[in-house]
Structures are given as structure tokens and as C-alpha cells.
Amino acid sequence: MKGQRILTVFKMEMKKLIRTPMYLIISIFFVALLVVILGFALGNYYEWGPDAYGNPRSIFEHMVPGLFAYSGILLTFTFASAVTGDRDTGVQRRMKTTPITSGEVIIGQMLSYTIIPIIQTAIILITALLVGFHPILTVEGVIMVFVFMIFMSFCSVGLGLITGTIAKDARAAGSLAFIFIIPQQLFGSFIYMGEATKVIGYAMPSYYVSEGIYRIFYGGTLTDVFLWLDLLVIAVITLVIYIIGVKLYGR
């Protein structure tokens, strides 16, 4: 495995995103816009009560941790479309005639999709702070938020690989991706569906990211066992999904 070939794939993926601004807008700026809308619409409503640590929180502030997770979920659509796009244009076929291995391709793509959640997280956090979000911020906590988001990104890349491998073309991949996106959006992100449906969220990767970020922003500490449990669960889910995605992609 050679670093130069991995770097080549990384550059190719980043150029692809720049050349397809719609993917870039969806991946990075869509949720930030949603944060602005919800911040102005729900920033002064407190019907959902205080946070888990007893501090008064607006409906908007209750939603913010889930909005971070939601931004990571959307990468499933972006990556699935990119994978099928490469296949449709013959990029995958041409790459198979070169010395580059599937592992190098995957690592190069993973690196590019590590940068995206870092940018996403920074933009969403800054935007939320500007429109009335008041978290309990520490340096360690912010780093943990980025860690959770990177795992969410890798998980979505794995789901995107599965989707892109199954779908026949980019259009079908975009539609099929929502099979993974909508359940996570409804039961594991910023939409409150009631306590009766909370058990469904336990099966959603995004649920553990939302819960982990919630704990970080609203009073949890790095000694909180449940915070590390959330991180462990999303790490295991990500590993399983990613291995499945890579195996399907390598066929």
C-alpha cells in the first residue's frame, strides 16, 4: 500500500466535490441553513423543558445535538452518488487497470470524507452559537464532538458504499440512500418522536451520536460512563457497516 496512490485518490475525491457544488452544498451548508431557520423559529420556545441536567433549554437547543448527527447522515447520499457516478463514467473500470488497490481507494476516500465532517461541525457550531445556542463548552468537549462526527461520517460512508454497490446508477443510488437516511433522521437526530418510539432509536447509528453530543454540550464530563458507551457503540456499528461496505465494493 503506497501513500502516493492514496494521496492521488484523496485529491481526486476533493476535486470531485469542488466540481459538483450541489454535493458540497448538501454536505456542508444545508444543515447550517437549517440551524439558522430553527434558531429563529424555535429559539424562544421552551415547551420541551430543561435539559437532562436541569438547565432551561429552548426547543432549538434541544435540537442542536441531533442536527450535528443529521449533517453526518446526509453523507450517505453524497457518497452513494459519488460511488455510482464513478462506476457510470468508467472511473472504477479504469482504476482497476492500474496498480492501485481497492484498499488504497477506500483509504483515500475515507481521508476526504474525514475533512468534510470537520468542516461541517465547525460551521454548524459557529452558526448555532450565532443564533442563540448556549452550550457548556470545553476544549476536551469540542474535540469529542469532532470525534463523534468523524465516526458518524465513516458510518455514512459505509452505508453509501452499500447503497452505491446495490444501485444500478447514480439516480437510483440517490433514492435508495434515503432508506438509510430517513429512519435515522426520524428516530436518531433532531426530530422528537416521543418516548414511545425511543426504543427504535437504539437501532440507529445517529442516535448514539446525538446522545453523545447532547451529553457533551449540556453538562456531561469526560468521566461520564454513558458518554464513552455512546462512543463505543457508534464505533462498533461503524466498523461493522464499513467492513460490509468495503466487501461489497471490492466485488
Separation of alpha carbons 210 and 13, rounded Å: 28
Domain boundaries, the chain: 3-250
Separation of alpha carbons 79 and 77, rounded Å: 6
Residue 108 has pLDDT above 90, yes or no: no
The reported pTM is 0.88
Q: Which residues contact 240 (CB under 8 A, 6 or more apart)?
A: none
Does residue 17 contact residue 112 with C-beta atoms inside 8 Å?
A: yes
Return mean pLDDT, the chain.
85
Residue 150: other Cβ atoms inside 10 A: 20
Query: Does residue 137 sit in helix, strand or coil?
Result: coil
Angstrom CA distances, 192 to 33, 62, 198, 223, stand at 20, 9, 9, 27
Cell of 176: 435508495
Q: Which residues contact 29 (CB under 8 A, 6 or more apart)?
A: 123
Q: Which residues of 1-29 are buried (b: 16+ CB within 10 A; e: fewer)?
A: eeeebbebbbebbeebbeeeeebbebbbb
Does residue 161 contact residue 246 with C-beta atoms inside 8 Å?
A: yes
The candidate with the shortest Cα–Cα distance to 230, out of 145, 170, 153, is 145
Cell of 91: 472511473
Q: What is the pLDDT of residue 84?
A: 75
pLDDT tens sequence across 56-81: 999 999 999 999 999 999 888 877 77
pLDDT tens sequence across 207-231: 999 999 999 999 888 889 999 999 9
Separation of alpha carbons 247 and 225, rounded Å: 33
Place of cell 452505491: 164
